[in-house]
Amino acid sequence: MTGTVVTPDNMLDVPNSLQKDVIRGLLIANRKICKDLSDAEFAQEIDSLCGKIQAARNINPNKYREAQKFVIQLRKEIREKTIKSNP
């Protein structure tokens, strides 16, 4: 399987680069960094983060469970806000 790390005990693990991308995405989602993003850019970052979390969970289903719940809820709120502002 490509895009994974094989540990010394022959288990698959999430690559550090993907973990770093997820953490950066969570910081953006919590508005800790990149605070000046437009609503469209923020929504795009959240969509990207959802994909990265899913990719990590495909490798290790126990990774980022709570983060995934948080991001899915945030994504839902963004979509509802978009629908209300564009009737």
25-42 tens-digit pLDDT: 999 999 999 999 999 999
Token duo for residue 19: 């973990």
The confidence score (pLDDT) of residue 1 equals: 62
When the pLDDT of each residue in the chain is averaged and rounded to a whole number, the result is 93
Note the pLDDT tens digit of each residue in 40-80: 999 999 999 999 999 999 999 999 999 999 999 999 999 99
**In degrees rounded to 5, what are phi and psi of residue 5?**
-115, 135
Q: How many residues does the chain have?
A: 87
Find out whether 18 and 26 touch, Cβ atoms under 8 Å: no
37 touches 47 (CB < 8 A): no
DSSP 30: T
